[in-house]
Structure 1
Amino acid sequence: MTYRLAASAEMLFLDLPFVERVERIAAAGLEVEIWDWTAKDVDALVATGATFSSMTGYVSGTLADADGAEQLLSTAEKSLEVAERLDCPRLNVHGTGLDPRGLPVIACHDVTPAMWLTAARTLERLAALGERTGRVFTLENLNTAVDHPGTPFARAADTIALVEAVGSPHLRLNLDLYHAQIGEGNLVQLVERALPLVGEIQVADVPGRCEPGTGEIHHPAIAAVLTRLGYDGVVALEGWASADPARALESFRTAFTPAP
């Protein structure tokens, strides 16, 4: 297995204080993902000694309108300062800002050609920030049918097109296979198509967004294609525990440990 495993501290061990969630995931030998850094004690996170794989790379803003783009880029600069303190290599962004329920702050169901151009230019500027600081921004695909209705540039096909248009190693895909299964399916071919652009892969089962083995996705098939293609990045569980979080982590680890 050439890739590494991580898990989101936002969705596991929810009965524990956040720093203890990070410690539990790190103690299990996994890297750690976090979301909104503004709600965290960053010094306490640093003190855990955990390896942070990914964090949210902006606080507010959007990709496809001028004012929203300036806001996104301004808060991305602040996020980069936190990433430096956490030694976190990847900062995640979406097509638009999301509220605490995962809904877009400004919903958009029809994306115009002008919006595509503005989004690509915003992402070029974001990639330049990443290049300046030696970090990578990742653009995540989402689903609009269940979790994030009204989010522009949500499909994996959309994020692939934008990342290809920018053409920078400092802008990569956060390929979320939970969202892709709901929105597009055909996951093995999607992974094969997208992998040269991938900065990180996230997984959870469908339906329910819990650990592998609780739904319809055959995660060992994903693990096999990642191994066959020599993927050496991170695969992260961004999902809830169906019952015991420690057992959920073991189910995730088992699904992504290829058979000899």
Structure 2
Amino acid sequence: MPRFAANLTLLYTDRPFLERFAAAAADGFEAVECLFPYDHPPQAIAERLRECGLTLALMNLPPGDWAAGERGLAALPGREVEFRQGLERGLAYARATGCRRLHAMAGVALPGAPRNEMHRTFVENLRAAARRAAQEGVTLTIEPINLRDMPGYFLNFQQQAHDVVEEVGEPALAVQMDLYHCQIMEGDLTRRLERHLPRVAHIQIAGVPDRHEPDAGEIHYPWVFELLDRLGYDGYVGCEYRPRGETSAGLGWLRRWRARGEQAGEGA
């Protein structure tokens, strides 16, 4: 049965961020993830994790000026120093919280910037960052993101991401596969999981097309969850969706899946 992680940036938003850890634990989650924890001291997050018995499965590196539309720095020429500084900040949070996965966002393509220059910057930044992350026992991830939700984002396709990982050539770099983004950009999820899963370090889910709970829409997630089990995926599945209403009330999909797993265990 997949191990699910609640995304505390999108779930439980009716309460302050530091109170969302307890809410996730109360709903039976054993792990959480978030986008950017940097508004809170790492020790405060570590304390919530200990109190609630939770694992921090994933967080993002600082993305640059989010309010101004920046969505990462890893592929932006001229921002290498800021990217390295963000990496060190992320690693400090990882040390404090025990987080073993850090997502390095590529960034939005700059107007007029040649893609080959952005690609070169991306590869060089990731190679150095992966080597640095490996010293801390951390895996760096890159994630293809759809162009509808994030126009101009540099990294959009699964094969594109895996080609970058191969070119970088560092064991501490892997792909973060968000099935919501993949369905919008490419589809064919079963074959893509079969082909790419060995180099995938983290998976995320949401319903398509509206990014709500994974119990409606184009993707039949019970099939996907069974496929992940058959393929031997042992990482976390991040629940990175926007609830239609109150988060706990919308977790019927998860309760049903857990009950199904318990029944299968009893029959074994």
TM-score, with length taken from structure 1: 0.88
Q: Report SS of the residue matched to 2:183.
A: helix
Cα RMSD of the aligned pairs, angstroms, is 2.1
Q: What is the CA-CA distance between 1:255 and the residue it aligns to?
A: 4.8
Residue number in structure 2 paired with 1:99: none
Residue number in structure 1 paired with 2:44: 44
- Relative distance call for 1:66 and 1:111 in structure 2 (3 A) is closer
Contact 1:140 1:174 in 2 (8 A): yes
Segments of structure 1 that go 5 or more residues without pairing to the other structure are: 97-103
Contact 1:203 1:235 in 2 (8 A): yes
Contact 2:75 2:125 in 1 (8 A): yes
Residue number in structure 1 paired with 2:105: 94
Paired with 1:252 and 1:92, the residues of 2 have a C-alpha distance of 25
* Paired residue total: 250
- Relative distance call for 1:249 and 1:129 in structure 2 (3 A) is farther
Paired with 1:58 and 1:230, the residues of 2 have a C-alpha distance of 32
- Relative distance call for 1:40 and 1:131 in structure 2 (3 A) is same
* Amino acid across the alignment from 2:170: S
Paired with 1:141 and 1:177, the residues of 2 have a C-alpha distance of 10
Q: What is the CA-CA distance between 1:249 and the residue it aligns to?
A: 3.0
Q: Report SS of the residue matched to 1:200.
A: strand
Give CA deviations for 1:176-215 in whole Å, capped at 9, x if unaligned: 0001111111111111111011110000011110111121
Contact 2:176 2:201 in 1 (8 A): yes
Contact 1:130 1:137 in 2 (8 A): yes
Q: Where does structure 1 differ by over 4 angstroms across 4 or more consecutive aligned residues?
A: 106-111, 255-259
Residue number in structure 2 paired with 1:196: 198
Query: Where do residues 1-260 of structure 1 align in structure 2 (5 Å cutoff)?
Result: 1=1, 3-30=2-29, 31-48=31-48, 49=50, 50-60=54-64, 62-96=73-107, 104=108, 107=110, 112-145=115-148, 147-252=149-254, 254-255=256-257, 260=264
Percentage of identical aligned residues: 32
* Amino acid across the alignment from 2:207: D
Q: Report SS of the residue matched to 2:23.
A: helix
Q: Report SS of the residue matched to 2:86.
A: helix
Contact 1:219 1:255 in 2 (8 A): no
Q: Report SS of the residue matched to 1:10.
A: coil
Give CA deviations for 1:31-63 in whole Å, capped at 9, x if unaligned: 111111222243322221231111112342523
- Relative distance call for 1:90 and 1:109 in structure 2 (3 A) is farther
Q: What is the CA-CA distance between 1:175 and the residue it aligns to?
A: 0.4
Q: Which moved more, 1:215-224 or 1:36-45?
A: 36-45
* Amino acid across the alignment from 1:4: R
Paired with 2:33 and 2:111, the residues of 1 have a C-alpha distance of 28
Q: Report SS of the residue matched to 1:38.
A: coil
Q: Report SS of the residue matched to 2:78.
A: helix
Question: Which has the greater radius of gyration?
Answer: 2
- Relative distance call for 1:112 and 1:195 in structure 2 (3 A) is same
- Relative distance call for 1:182 and 1:25 in structure 2 (3 A) is same
